[in-house]
Structure 1
Amino acid sequence: MPLERTNLLGMDREAMQRYFVSLGAREFHARQFLQWVYQRGITEFAQMTNLSKALRARLLSEATLEMPRVASEQLSSDGTRKWLLQLADGNHIETVFIPEDDRGTLCVSSQVGCALNCSFCATARQGYSRNLEASEIISQVWLAQYLLHDSGYTERAITNIVLMGMGEPLLNYEAVVPVINLMLDDLAYGLSRRRITLSTAGVVPAIDRLAKECPISLAVSLHAARDALRDQLVPLNRKYPIKQLL
């Protein structure tokens, strides 16, 4: 039976260092690896020339950097791009890039579908399938950066990231936080905390936890100032009403 390879996408610096040490390598090799993947866009182990040949061979036999497949791309007249990505299990997610004069914002998904059933949300109509793995979240950033560069962007196109696509990010907390750590890490994307925004319908305990463990910008989908109306628009409000949320 063939050995199942470890997908290294989505591991933050601490997890990557633990993995490389488990291979008999040093922690600084993990830091070099992060730079190859996220700063230089290299996913072929053989091209990571400051790693030893023996380590590259070990990675080739035991690890992988598995990306979703781009199923389709839509380009708007204002430069907005939407990609439909097919995951390994056949599910699909959407990722959107929105260019503006002073920034380029990437909107990424955190779940396949969504279970919150907000009345105004198109994703709610497809129901909930599963949480995304950390690798499936960060690969949206990697692919978008690669595709934008391939389409002619010469400078850094993605300056801001919003966890505002399909799904409720705070219901996938354990996968989302390592991804945020990679977005912040100077060895990966090196974004400032104010350039990363998480949008939530109001999962109050996870908001409090995020503020302590990984403070970034937060956007709350409020949509109504009265509980009676918000109960209809955002059913999660019945569990975490406005007074508790704010």
Structure 2
Amino acid sequence: MKLNLLDFTYSELEQFCSGLGEAPFRARQLWQWLWQKRERDFGRMTNISKELRERLGQTADVLWPEVVHVQASRDGTTKFLLALADGQHIETVLIPEKDHFTLCLSTQVGCALGCTFCATGRMGLVRNLTMAEILGQILVAREHVAGLTQGQTQGQTQDQTPDQTQELATGQILGQTQGLALRNLVFMGMGEPLLNWENLRRALESLHHPLGLDFSKRRITVSTVGVPGMLSEFGASGLASLAVSLHAPTQDLRARIMPRAARFVLDDLIAELAAYPLQPRQKITIEYVLLGGVNDDLGHARELVRLLNKVKAKVNLIPFHPSSELPYAAPDMNRVLAFENLLKSKGLPATLRKSKGQDISAACGQLRADVAALE
């Protein structure tokens, strides 16, 4: 079985080239072809000798996740359904901002945590993603962004014809997003990133390489429910910013809506966050999905302020997106605004996330890689 070169870190690629009897600079050339130029065909790597290209073709591959389906939202958000080499599927979401794109990445096929307000949790955990499968989502997204810049989209598989709604959305995307670059990464898609820490760590380290994808650490955020022991290791790595999926201000309520995540006791989680290493002006993002009538009243807001009083934090409020499969309602917007205002009045920074991609099930908690829906 051939090796996928996208699964190699830079040092591993150097070792691979050395094993072929090649000088270290060959790894640098290959790395640039793989990550900067997004080249998958060894035959087109023109500054590499023909002999080496032939040997590479015999021993290795460059395998991206396969784009199965692309959905375009009216707000410019694009959701990719990707097939992996073993037939499993994941989703990744490209989100347009004012002057750039943000990509929401998955780290697992499914998720073991089963939060009761999250569609991904209903899948259960199938497996972890490899480094190549994690970073391959970025290659797919950058290829798509390059197509937008050229006035094209990758939106349809060969046997699909877009309906009028899809054509309208595609036209809007071309008008809204031409010239935008993919600048920010958020690991907030399918899966719990810190339960796939080894592959995530290797991916983050590779992301920062200046001859490759070259993403700044401050442009990358990893979202976690708070895995015991892993928070300190992630913090010590300094590889990305931290976001914590909290969603409840008490242990009892968190256990009700996030039963498996709540095994990580809330008091212990807050103690880890209070000790978490931060840069001088850096804050931990606390993510809080507001469920109608469940965790969205002013009493909950006051408890949240008390809970976070020793944590250098800012709160990202996310109104729940209703689904027929999930047992919750959207919160009343008056309650949402009152919740936000109370946090701010107590000195706790808070913002209301503007949800995007709801019409294509690409918003927070909606990813589930539903292949059957395409049939």
Residue of structure 2 in register with 1:176 after alignment: 200
Q: How far apart are residue 203 of structure 1 and its match?
A: 0.7
The one-letter code sitting in structure 1 at the alignment partner of 2:218 is: R
Secondary structure of residue in 2 paired with 1:235: coil
Q: How far apart are residue 240 of structure 1 and its match?
A: 1.8
The one-letter code sitting in structure 2 at the alignment partner of 1:58 is: R
**Which of 59, 76, 81 lines up with 2:78 in the alignment?**
81
Residue of structure 2 in register with 1:199 after alignment: 223
Cα deviations across residues 168-198 of structure 1 (Å, max 9, x unaligned)? Answer: 0111111111111121111111111110111
Q: How far apart are residue 20 of structure 1 and its match?
A: 1.3
Judging changes above 3 Å, is the alpha-carbon distance between structure 1 residues 156 and 50 closer, same or farther for their aligned structure 2 residues? farther
Judging changes above 3 Å, is the alpha-carbon distance between structure 1 residues 34 and 21 closer, same or farther for their aligned structure 2 residues? same
Secondary structure of residue in 1 paired with 2:28: helix
Confirm or deny that 1:234 pairs with 2:239: no
Q: Distance in 2 between matches of 1:190 and 1:46?
A: 25
The one-letter code sitting in structure 2 at the alignment partner of 1:90 is: G
Q: Distance in 2 between matches of 1:42 and 1:59?
A: 13
Q: How far apart are residue 66 of structure 1 and its match?
A: 1.1
Residue of structure 2 in register with 1:220 after alignment: 244
Confirm or deny that 1:25 pairs with 2:22: yes
Cα deviations across residues 2-22 of structure 1 (Å, max 9, x unaligned)? Answer: xx1110113221121121111
Q: Distance in 2 between matches of 1:96 and 1:160?
A: 12
The one-letter code sitting in structure 2 at the alignment partner of 1:17 is: E
**Which of 109, 117, 124 lines up with 1:120 in the alignment?**
117
8 A contact 1:202–1:236 mirrored in 2? no
Q: Distance in 1 between matches of 2:42 and 2:63?
A: 13
Q: Which runs of 5+ in 2 are unaligned?
A: 151-177, 271-375
Number of equivalent positions: 243
What pairs with 1:24-63 in structure 2 (closer than 5 Å)?
A: 24-63=21-60
User: TM-score, normalised to structure 1's length?
Assistant: 0.94
Q: How far apart are residue 233 of structure 1 and its match?
A: 2.0
Report the structure number with the largest CA radius of gyration: 2
Tell me the C-alpha RMSD between the 2 structures. 1.5
Q: How far apart are residue 166 of structure 1 and its match?
A: 0.4
Q: How far apart are residue 237 of structure 1 and its match?
A: 4.2
Give percent identity, aligned residues only.
43
The one-letter code sitting in structure 1 at the alignment partner of 2:115 is: C
Residue of structure 1 in register with 2:99 after alignment: 102
8 A contact 1:67–1:136 mirrored in 2? yes
Judging changes above 3 Å, is the alpha-carbon distance between structure 1 residues 51 and 15 closer, same or farther for their aligned structure 2 residues? same
Q: Distance in 2 between matches of 1:125 and 1:237?
A: 14
Q: Distance in 2 between matches of 1:91 and 1:226?
A: 36
Judging changes above 3 Å, is the alpha-carbon distance between structure 1 residues 59 and 130 closer, same or farther for their aligned structure 2 residues? same
Q: Distance in 2 between matches of 1:224 and 1:44?
A: 49
Q: How far apart are residue 152 of structure 1 and its match?
A: 2.7
8 A contact 1:177–1:214 mirrored in 2? no
Secondary structure of residue in 2 paired with 1:151: helix
Q: How far apart are residue 231 of structure 1 and its match?
A: 1.4
The one-letter code sitting in structure 1 at the alignment partner of 2:117 is: F
8 A contact 1:134–1:179 mirrored in 2? yes
Confirm or deny that 1:167 pairs with 2:191: yes
Cα deviations across residues 49-99 of structure 1 (Å, max 9, x unaligned)? Answer: 222222111111100011222111000112110000111221110010001
User: TM-score, normalised to structure 2's length?
Assistant: 0.62
8 A contact 1:201–1:236 mirrored in 2? no
Q: How far apart are residue 155 of structure 1 and its match?
A: 4.8
8 A contact 2:111–2:192 mirrored in 1? yes
Q: Distance in 1 between matches of 2:220 and 2:262?
A: 28
Q: Distance in 2 between matches of 1:56 and 1:227?
A: 57
Moved more, 232-241 or 46-55: 232-241
Secondary structure of residue in 2 paired with 1:204: coil
Secondary structure of residue in 2 paired with 1:223: coil
8 A contact 1:6–1:63 mirrored in 2? yes
**Which of 149, 153, 178 lines up with 1:152 in the alignment?**
149
